[in-house]
């Protein structure tokens, strides 16, 4: 029976608290303990060498007995193959209000073969965890074994497709491999646990969106119990959880055995509301019960391990009407984020992770088959590491949660109605402090202004169309109390000799802030825009947002010894306000595009960060700070009227680098494998008769599936040879690939043609496995020649672009669907064919198993910078060829970006969309993605610094695969500047 809203509210107010746990591994029941009262949040986490306790009740996490609201963003280090840049993204996340980072760990990225696990170089998980700790972020670790994450096979290694055992079950063969993986990854994670003080790992996920069919069955419960007990045996003692993709109350506490351990399992669920629908209530104000999201587990806090922050890009762009990530960012903009995430907060979700916050690049053969190379995701930080306007709500909400502890323990309160019924109001209150929080949501297509007479707020509050706003009342701001505000409080801190409170909203909003003042104050207006009035113990300050940048009002003389500085900012201005905690106290910086760090030494505060344009700088710092440096250089300052250190001249902006033209191209054709006299004697004979694939082997045919012969990524070649039977009239090639796979065939060196899978429409955009039968009739001249040669030797050569393995989201071993040829039949003759197969060579020891495929040029190292292309032919671009097969193009270029400039550079490919060809892009040996000219939607490819030498020489190689039906390029190939800032982080070459 579903609970009514009134009944649920009554129960929620008296519900028993959940279970807490201690970092020492001895859980304590919170039902017998006093509720943890609201107080200061935990300090910024670090690897401080001290033991810490991590617990939870139904409201929030408890860290060392203090309430913590987790405001986390997802990034995947494997999608940014330049470890230096991990620090860049993590610093940006922390500066913009995130206090945690969530990371999937992809099994396939670390394991090229059974028993082999590599955590070095770009796979150095320990380095990432150390960097996160140094940045001051908690870490949510998600090592699967299955992660989903829109990567090949959902992160399961390619070699697992050719093994016995049902994945994601308690099958003993599968568990043996899982044991290997968890032993390897947990050895890294256990060394960086926050409970031990050796890192900041706070939570750990086992499995991801395990299909509902397994929840009620003994095999599913046994599998989850095995994972739980294995992780504990490996020394991981932080709370564990699973991400329920359907919000169905699956894998809640008690649904499987945990070896007698209680109170250490969190229920989490994921969700990504569609932009054209009203954001749902997944907690306090929803339907409640087992399918009510956060209410499915009444003793644990509301937890969203995956809250949709965009959408992945599919081949052809059908889901975005061909507009790509620009459409994802438009439809899931800042207003969408406010409406969704503030609704989550109102619904008691205090563990919140945005998937993705930085998407990055699914380079090489990493992406799941439906998705193109870019994993920009329309996220708050784009693929080139640039901040986007979507950061405004994340920044404001994150800073609020970090600095105002009242939001860590909120209960639904009595119903409050807006004067305009188009505004929906969520009313919550903190039982410890008496603070009230109102989330106002406008689901209409026009802005609505309304008062809240039930709450005593008689000034109009404007909520833009399809947007939301959080306002507060009776909230402590330093040593004063906020009566109410008409815009969102963003932060409250004490710096030096004054309290500072920031209020933020949309440009053009009229902010009205009312403070309790027992005595009449003497406000000081420091900018032209604000106004104030005092009446009956209330100070009402108003300011239009955005009119003059940051607006300041100083309040003193009201009987409180400490002055208060009120700051008013619109979204753009708020993104230039940077609070920072130091051992000596808090500070606030205004002006630059980013504050990375602040360190106090003596009387000087040393700041590092980024600027894009020339900008002013103001610093409100702890007492005794009289000097400022910026990126190592002294900044002359004076004391401002608002009590800050104000720079006497602007910080300089960035000088944008000039990029070279790409010329000096050299060209060489390949695919000698199509020639009948090619030596394939060292190729693997394809003569197996059984397989562990989910694809059946056709009767009378050998197993031709690429994975069965150890070729798991990239292109694969087949050569079938026979003697005699010159009466072949046609050949039929059945094959199975991921999205946008294709095959090309030659007989005795003569092209038979190319077959390709269709471009997906919206209904099939996420389909991962595609099968087809390509029938090629032999040209008349070729048939005549075969008959004339009689009993000569004949060779059928087939190149298959297999794309990637399917995801296994339903736990049906769909990742084991065949890749490559599945059957070959002939018309006019029935030759006895001996098949040989060849794919990628041994995995690249630096770049990993998913960098290379089986093209001849890849096997011969043509993609590597050290390859000698002196005998290649000079050529120019654009170029037009009509040839079935593979051609390579190489050039070298030098960059000379000034030191101290972080330039993000991309490669753009453009051509007539009627030309059917695709390109594998190799920069300095790294396979940075696939371009399909006539499919799209991607034309720009990010070249990560570290792989890209921004001060030095680079080698670019393009492997062009053309089907011979149309002229093929490349067309225009050029470099483009995607972003530049003065500052950045030091980048080491990969």
pLDDT single digits (tens) 475-506: 999 999 999 999 999 999 999 999 999 999 99
Instruction: Using alpha carbons, list the distances in angstroms from residue 355 to 279, 350, 413, 424, 944.
Output: 16, 16, 30, 26, 21
Give the helix/strand (H/E) hosting 945. none
**Confidence label for 798 from pLDDT (cuts 50, 70 and 90):** very high
Instruction: Using alpha carbons, list the distances in angstroms from residue 664 to 661, 867, 870, 920.
Output: 10, 16, 12, 19
**Confidence label for 34 from pLDDT (cuts 50, 70 and 90):** confident
CB within 8 Å of 983: residues ≥ 6 apart? 594, 596, 608, 609, 610, 611, 631, 900, 902
Task: Please say whether the beta carbons of 267 and 241 come within 8 A.
Answer: yes
* DSSP label of 402: H
Q: Are strands 750-756 and 742-747 parallel, antiparallel or unpaired?
A: antiparallel
Task: Please say whether the beta carbons of 576 and 502 come within 8 A.
Answer: no
Strands (E), 724-832: 730-737, 742-747, 750-756, 770-777, 793-801, 820-827
User: What pLDDT, on a 0 to 100 scale, did the predictor assign at position 788?
Assistant: 81
Three-state DSSP at 231 gives: helix
User: What pLDDT, on a 0 to 100 scale, did the predictor assign at position 472?
Assistant: 98
Task: Please say whether the beta carbons of 845 and 925 come within 8 A.
Answer: no
**Confidence label for 6 from pLDDT (cuts 50, 70 and 90):** very low
C-alpha–C-alpha distance, residues 903 and 905, integer Å: 6
Q: Give the tens place of pLDDT for each residue, 690-743.
A: 999 999 999 999 999 999 999 999 999 999 999 988 889 999 999 999 999 999
Q: Say whether pLDDT at 11 is over 90.
A: no
Strands (E), 319-478: 349-355, 411-412, 423-429, 436-442, 448-452, 457-463, 467-477
User: What pLDDT, on a 0 to 100 scale, did the predictor assign at position 21?
Assistant: 32
Q: Give the tens place of pLDDT for each residue, 904-939.
A: 999 999 999 999 999 999 999 999 999 999 999 999
Q: Say whether pLDDT at 32 is over 60.
A: no
Output the six-digit token pair for 328.
Answer: 């994802």
| Of 904, 897, 878, 884, residue with least CA distance to 958 | 878
Q: Say whether pLDDT at 306 is over 80.
A: yes
User: What pLDDT, on a 0 to 100 scale, did the predictor assign at position 787?
Assistant: 84
- Count the neighbouring beta carbons within 10 Å of the beta carbon of residue 832: 9
Three-state DSSP at 233 gives: helix
Give the helix/strand (H/E) hosting 669. strand 666-669
C-alpha–C-alpha distance, residues 675 and 775, integer Å: 21
**What is the percent of the chain with per-residue pLDDT over 90, rounded to a whole number?**
92
Mean per-residue pLDDT, 34-49: 95
Task: Please say whether the beta carbons of 104 and 149 come within 8 A.
Answer: yes
C-alpha–C-alpha distance, residues 326 and 86, integer Å: 24
Task: Please say whether the beta carbons of 839 and 706 come within 8 A.
Answer: yes
User: What pLDDT, on a 0 to 100 scale, did the predictor assign at position 213?
Assistant: 67
Task: Please say whether the beta carbons of 375 and 359 come within 8 A.
Answer: yes
Mean per-residue pLDDT, 135-146: 98
User: What pLDDT, on a 0 to 100 scale, did the predictor assign at position 769?
Assistant: 98
Q: Say whether pLDDT at 3 is over 60.
A: no
User: What pLDDT, on a 0 to 100 scale, did the predictor assign at position 518?
Assistant: 93
Which burial class, exposed, middle or buried, applies to 845 when counting CB atoms under 10 A from its CB (0-12, 13-18, 19+)? exposed
Task: Please say whether the beta carbons of 441 and 416 come within 8 A.
Answer: no
Q: Are strands 240-244 and 201-208 parallel, antiparallel or unpaired?
A: parallel
C-alpha–C-alpha distance, residues 378 and 356, integer Å: 8
User: What pLDDT, on a 0 to 100 scale, did the predictor assign at position 534?
Assistant: 97
485: phi then psi, degrees, rounded to nearest 5: -140, 155
Q: Give the tens place of pLDDT for each residue, 57-87.
A: 999 999 999 999 999 999 999 999 999 999 9
CB within 8 Å of 216: residues ≥ 6 apart? none
DSSP annotation string for 78-120: GGS--HHHHHHHHHHHHHTT--EEEEE--HHHH-SBTTB---S
Q: Say whether pLDDT at 525 is over 90.
A: yes
Q: Say whether pLDDT at 15 is over 50.
A: no
Lowest mean pLDDT, pick from 245-249, 427-431, 645-649? 245-249
C-alpha–C-alpha distance, residues 465 and 689, integer Å: 63
C-alpha–C-alpha distance, residues 225 and 175, integer Å: 12
**What is the percent of the chain with per-residue pLDDT over 70, rounded to a whole number?**
96
**Confidence label for 19 from pLDDT (cuts 50, 70 and 90):** very low
**Confidence label for 547 from pLDDT (cuts 50, 70 and 90):** confident
**Ranges of H-type helices in 703-815:** 780-789
If you search the block for the tokens 């595009």, which residue do you land on?
A: 593
Instruction: Using alpha carbons, list the distances in angstroms from residue 657 to 895, 903, 923, 924.
Output: 9, 8, 20, 21
Mean per-residue pLDDT, 539-552: 94
Mean per-residue pLDDT, 970-985: 98
Cis (ω within 30 of 0) for the bond into 65? no
C-alpha–C-alpha distance, residues 816 and 167, integer Å: 10
**Confidence label for 587 from pLDDT (cuts 50, 70 and 90):** very high
Q: Give the tens place of pLDDT for each residue, 610-643.
A: 999 999 999 999 999 999 999 999 999 999 999 9
Angle at 707 between CA 706 and CA 709, to 5 degrees: 75
Q: Distance from CA of residue 363 to its chain's centroid?
A: 14
User: Whole-prediction pTM value?
Assistant: 0.96
CA atoms within 13 A on the CB side of 836: 16
User: What pLDDT, on a 0 to 100 scale, did the predictor assign at position 521?
Assistant: 96
Output the six-digit token pair for 493.
Answer: 């801190």
User: What pLDDT, on a 0 to 100 scale, did the predictor assign at position 1?
Assistant: 28
CB within 8 Å of 466: residues ≥ 6 apart? 335, 336, 339, 442, 443, 444, 445
If you search the block for the tokens 């610094």, which residue do you land on?
A: 945
Q: What is the mean pLDDT of the chain?
A: 94
Q: Say whether pLDDT at 5 is over 50.
A: no
User: What pLDDT, on a 0 to 100 scale, did the predictor assign at position 33?
Assistant: 60
Give the helix/strand (H/E) hosting 644. none
Q: Give the tens place of pLDDT for each residue, 196-235.
A: 999 999 999 999 999 766 666 888 999 999 999 999 999 9
Mean per-residue pLDDT, 949-977: 96
Q: Give the tens place of pLDDT for each residue, 347-365.
A: 999 999 999 999 999 999 9
Q: Say whether pLDDT at 17 is over 60.
A: no
Q: Say whether pLDDT at 823 is over 90.
A: yes
**Helix-, strand-, coil-residue percentages of the chain, each rounded to 5:** 20, 35, 45
In three-state form (DSSP H/G/I as H, E/B as E, the rest C), the secondary structure along 283-344 is CCCCCCCCCCHHHHCCCCCEEEEEEECCCCCEHHHHHHCCCCHHHHHHHCCHHHHHHHHHHH
CA atoms within 13 A on the CB side of 282: 29
What residues pair up with 438 in beta bridges, in sequence order? 427, 471
C-alpha–C-alpha distance, residues 936 and 475, integer Å: 51
| Of 563, 555, 552, residue with least CA distance to 511 | 552
- Count the neighbouring beta carbons within 10 Å of the beta carbon of residue 164: 9
């Amino acid at each position: 029976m579903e609970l009514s809203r009134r009944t649920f509210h009554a129960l929620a107010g008296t519900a028993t608290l959940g279970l807490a746990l201690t970092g020492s591994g001895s859980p304590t029941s919170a039902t017998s303990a006093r509720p943890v009262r609201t107080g200061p949040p935990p300090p910024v986490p670090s690897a401080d060498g001290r033991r810490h306790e991590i617990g939870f009740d139904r409201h929030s996490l408890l860290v060392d007995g203090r309430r913590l609201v987790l405001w986390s963003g997802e990034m995947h280090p494997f999608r940014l193959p330049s470890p230096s840049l991990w620090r860049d993204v993590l610093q940006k996340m922390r500066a913009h209000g995130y206090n945690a980072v969530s990371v999937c760990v992809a099994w396939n990225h670390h394991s090229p073969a059974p028993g082999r696990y590599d955590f070095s170089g770009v796979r150095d998980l320990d380095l990432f965890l150390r960097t996160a700790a140094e940045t001051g972020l908690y870490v949510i670790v998600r090592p699967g074994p299955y992660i989903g994450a829109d990567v090949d096979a959902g992160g399961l290694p390619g070699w697992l497709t050719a093994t016995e055992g049902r994945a994601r079950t308690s099958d003993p063969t599968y568990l043996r491999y899982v044991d290997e993986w968890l032993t390897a990854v947990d050895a890294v994670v256990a060394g960086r646990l926050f409970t031990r003080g050796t890192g900041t790992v706070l939570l750990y996920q086992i499995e991801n969106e395990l299909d509902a069919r397994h929840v009620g069955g003994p095999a599913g419960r046994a599998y989850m119990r095995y994972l739980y007990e294995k992780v504990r045996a490996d020394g991981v003692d932080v709370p564990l959880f699973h991400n329920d993709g359907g919000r169905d109350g699956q894998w809640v506490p008690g649904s499987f055995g945990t070896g007698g351990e209680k109170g250490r399992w969190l229920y989490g669920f994921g969700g990504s509301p569609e932009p054209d629908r009203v954001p749902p209530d997944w907690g306090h104000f929803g339907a409640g019960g087992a399918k009510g999201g956060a209410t499915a587990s009444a003793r644990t806090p509301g937890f969203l391990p995956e809250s949709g922050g965009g959408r992945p890009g599919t081949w052809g762009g059908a889901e975005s009407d061909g507009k790509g990530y620009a459409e994802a960012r438009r439809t899931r903009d800042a207003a969408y984020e406010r409406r969704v995430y503030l609704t989550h907060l109102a619904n008691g979700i205090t563990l919140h992770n945005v998937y993705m916050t930085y998407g990055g690049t699914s380079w090489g053969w990493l992406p799941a088959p439906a998705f193109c190379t870019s994993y920009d995701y329309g996220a708050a930080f784009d693929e080139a590491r640039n901040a986007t306007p979507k950061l405004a709500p994340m920044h404001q909400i994150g800073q609020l949660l970090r600095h105002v502890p009242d939001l860590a323990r909120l209960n639904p309160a009595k119903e409050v109605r807006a004067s305009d019924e188009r505004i929906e109001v969520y009313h919550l209150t903190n039982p410890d402090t008496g603070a009230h929080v109102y989330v106002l949501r406008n689901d209409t297509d026009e802005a609505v202004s309304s008062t809240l007479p039930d709450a005593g707020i008689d000034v109009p509050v404007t909520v833009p169309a399809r947007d939301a706003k959080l306002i507060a009342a009776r909230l402590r701001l330093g040593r004063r109390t906020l009566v109410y505000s008409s815009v969102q409080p963003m932060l409250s801190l004490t710096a030096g000799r004054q309290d500072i409170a920031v209020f933020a909203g949309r440009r053009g909003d009229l902010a009205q802030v009312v403070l309790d003042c027992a005595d009449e104050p003497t406000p000081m207006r420091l900018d032209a825009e604000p106004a104030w009035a005092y009446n009956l113990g209330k100070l009402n300050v108003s300011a239009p947002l955005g009119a003059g940048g940051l607006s300041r009002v100083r309040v003193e003389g009201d009987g409180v010894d400490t002055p208060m500085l009120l700051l008013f900012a619109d979204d753009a201005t708020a993104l230039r306000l940077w609070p920072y905690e130091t051992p000596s106290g808090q500070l606030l910086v205004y002006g630059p595009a980013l504050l990375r760090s602040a360190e106090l030494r003596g009387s000087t505060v040393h700041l590092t960060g980024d600027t894009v344009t020339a900008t002013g700088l103001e610093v409100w710092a702890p007492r005794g700070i009289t000097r400022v440096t910026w990126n190592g250089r002294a900044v002359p300052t004076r004391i401002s009227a608002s009590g800050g250190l104000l720079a006497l001249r602007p910080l300089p902006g960035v000088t944008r680098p000039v990029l070279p033209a790409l010329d000096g191209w050299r060209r060489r054709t390949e695919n000698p494998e199509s020639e009948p006299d090619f030596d394939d004697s060292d190729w693997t004979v394809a003569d197996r008769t059984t397989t562990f694939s989910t694809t059946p082997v056709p009767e009378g045919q050998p197993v031709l599936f690429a994975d069965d012969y150890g070729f798991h990524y990239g292109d694969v070649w087949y050569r079938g040879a026979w003697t005699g039977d010159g009466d072949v009239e046609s050949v039929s090639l059945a094959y199975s690939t991921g999205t946008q796979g294709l095959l090309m065939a030659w007989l005795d060196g003569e092209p038979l043609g190319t077959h390709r899978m269709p471009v997906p429409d919206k209904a099939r955009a996420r389909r991962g496995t595609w099968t087809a039968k390509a029938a090629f009739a032999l040209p008349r001249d070729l048939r005549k020649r075969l008959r004339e040669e009689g009993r000569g030797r004949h060779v059928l050569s087939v190149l298959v672009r297999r794309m990637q393995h399917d995801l296994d989201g339903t736990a049906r071993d769909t990742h084991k669907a065949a890749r490559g040829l599945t059957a070959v039949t002939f018309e006019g003759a029935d030759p006895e064919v001996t098949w040989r197969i060849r794919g990628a060579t041994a995995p690249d020891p630096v770049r990993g198993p998913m960098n290379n495929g089986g093209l001849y040029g890849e096997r011969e190292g043509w993609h590597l910078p050290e390859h000698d292309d002196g005998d290649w032919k000079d050529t120019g671009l654009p170029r037009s060829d009509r040839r079935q097969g593979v051609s390579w193009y190489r050039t070298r270029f030098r960059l000379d970006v000034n030191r101290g400039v972080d330039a993000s550079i991309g490669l753009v490919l453009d051509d007539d969309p009627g030309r059917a060809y695709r390109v594998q892009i190799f920069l300095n040996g790294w396979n940075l993605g696939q371009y399909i000219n006539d499919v799209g939607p991607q034309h720009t490819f990010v070249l990560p610094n570290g792989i890209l030498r921004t001060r030095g020489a680079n080698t670019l190689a393009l492997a062009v695969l053309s089907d011979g039906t149309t002229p093929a390029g490349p067309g225009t190939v050029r470099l483009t500047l995607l972003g530049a800032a003065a500052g950045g982080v030091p980048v080491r070459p990969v």
